[in-house]
Amino acid sequence: MATIELRQVEKKFGQLHAVKPMDLTIHSGEFVVLLGPSGCGKTTTLRMISGLEAVTGGHIYLDGRDVTWLHPSERDIAFVFQFFALYPHMTVLDNIRFPLQAQRVPRDEAEKRVSEIVKMLQIEHLLHLRPGSLSGGDRQRVALARALVRRPAAFLMDEPLGALDADLRESMRAEIKRLHIANNATTVYVTHDQLEAMALGDRIVVMSAAEIQQVGNPAEVYYKPANLFVARFIGSPGMNLISGRYADGVVYLPGDNRYTVPESWRAPLAQALKDGEVIIGFRPESARITEDGALAARVYASDMHGAFNMIHLALGEESNIVNVRVDRWITYALDTPVRFDIDPEGVRFFDPRSEKALRRGGAQ
């Protein structure tokens, strides 16, 4: 287990600032996910931690030791890539054994570790096969086994499930989580899939445009996004966002709606908003359609999701759509007028100029 610290770590490729100076501490035993859209700098960050990419500036510490300029092999970190490279001419067993031979682990100890890992990943029946005859999922299990058997101080995983089918991805996700709980090894995991990030991460580092946007546990980034980017990027669909104007405890919203702001938010809004322009945010499950709801809308569309239904509501113009989650047996005809309320605990406010979330004292 190891603590990984990044201090003002950055990377430039010529003119391109691929990672702007970044501070991040990954605690020993923690599972941290780097999440963001393509090109935001996730892989480059991971490669700098591994030593495969040299930093342009800053320092990387592993358990307090400055490893910034150490060769990857001197860092005691295992890297699992999306495109798992197994030796094609070796059997699965030899592939898994190989890192232990390279480390000169005594034979008995090596056999013990290999048998533990293959049992854990349920690949005993594959040991005599060569990688070429395995399915994608099995190949990835073998690649994981090969990384795990080394017992490195930390694991770095770059979209390890990206090449797999959706159902296989889900089962492998569960396996990775179980393995992490069993081994408790510090893990840094890169993905652009926010569901995967929410499912796996103790903490999620949301990145965009070469910068960290927010670091938090899954509930924090989901319910308390730091800015509009995180609000939109996390969740499927993203957070509902409606523009309005704040004055005297009320936000005036499209469709002649007036939203009475919870008491605890009034002072922060009055203080932060220069001209009253504000964006209200809430998750689809933080709203409730009810006859005496404070806000009026009409049903624009609805989707069945199996376990629940998602009702799309238009406030005034059709450009102001919000999604409200309802029980699976509730349906509405198109254009039905409805009323809804927002759970005061679930409402967030954003400054449209800075795009940042407003905060309420210490509680946010």
Torsion angles phi and psi, residue 97, rounded to 5: -70, -30
CA 48 to chain CA centroid, nearest Å = 20
Task: Please say which residue, 41 or 131, places its beta carbon nearer to ligand ATP.
Answer: 41
Task: Please say which residue, 35 or 118, places its beta carbon nearer to ligand ATP.
Answer: 35
CA 97 to chain CA centroid, nearest Å = 32
* Smallest separation, CB 26 to ligand ATP (Å): 17
Binding footprint of ligand ATP on the chain (CB under 6 A)? 13, 16, 18, 36, 38-44, 192
* Smallest separation, CB 14 to ligand ATP (Å): 7
CA 104 to chain CA centroid, nearest Å = 37
Task: Please say which residue, 140 or 191, places its beta carbon nearer to ligand ATP.
Answer: 191
Task: Please say which residue, 155 or 259, places its beta carbon nearer to ligand ATP.
Answer: 155
Task: Please say which residue, 41 or 225, places its beta carbon nearer to ligand ATP.
Answer: 41
ω into 106 cis (within 30 of 0)? no
Task: Please say which residue, 84 or 246, places its beta carbon nearer to ligand ATP.
Answer: 84
* Smallest separation, CB 250 to ligand ATP (Å): 41
Q: Are 49 and 72 within 8 A, CB to CB? A: no
Task: Please say which residue, 11 or 283, places its beta carbon nearer to ligand ATP.
Answer: 11
* Smallest separation, CB 191 to ligand ATP (Å): 8
Task: Please say which residue, 38 or 319, places its beta carbon nearer to ligand ATP.
Answer: 38
* Smallest separation, CB 164 to ligand ATP (Å): 16
* Smallest separation, CB 91 to ligand ATP (Å): 32
* Smallest separation, CB 143 to ligand ATP (Å): 18
Task: Please say which residue, 18 or 278, places its beta carbon nearer to ligand ATP.
Answer: 18
SS (H, E, C) the chain: CCCEEEEEEEEEECCEEEEEEEEEEECCCCEEEEECCCCCCHHHHHHHHHCCCCCCEEEEEECCEECCCCCHHHCCEEEECCCCCCCCCCCHHHHHHHHHHHCCCCHHHHHHHHHHHHHHCCCHHHCCCCHHHCCHHHHHHHHHHHHHCCCCCEEEEECCCCCCCHHHHHHHHHHHHHHHHHHCCEEEEEECCHHHHHHHCCEEEEEECCEEEEEECHHHHHHCCCEHHHHHHCCCCCCEEEEEEEECCEEEECCCEEEECCHHHHHHHHHHCCCCEEEEEECHHHEEECCCCCEEEEEEEEEECCCEEEEEEECCCCCCEEEEEEECCCCCCCCCEEEEEECCCCCEEECCCCCEECCCCCCC
* Smallest separation, CB 86 to ligand ATP (Å): 22
The CA distances from residue 324 to 103, 259, 261, in Å, are 55, 16, 19
Q: How far apart are CA 33 and CA 191, in angstroms?
A: 7
* Smallest separation, CB 56 to ligand ATP (Å): 12
* Smallest separation, CB 258 to ligand ATP (Å): 42
Task: Please say which residue, 41 or 160, places its beta carbon nearer to ligand ATP.
Answer: 41
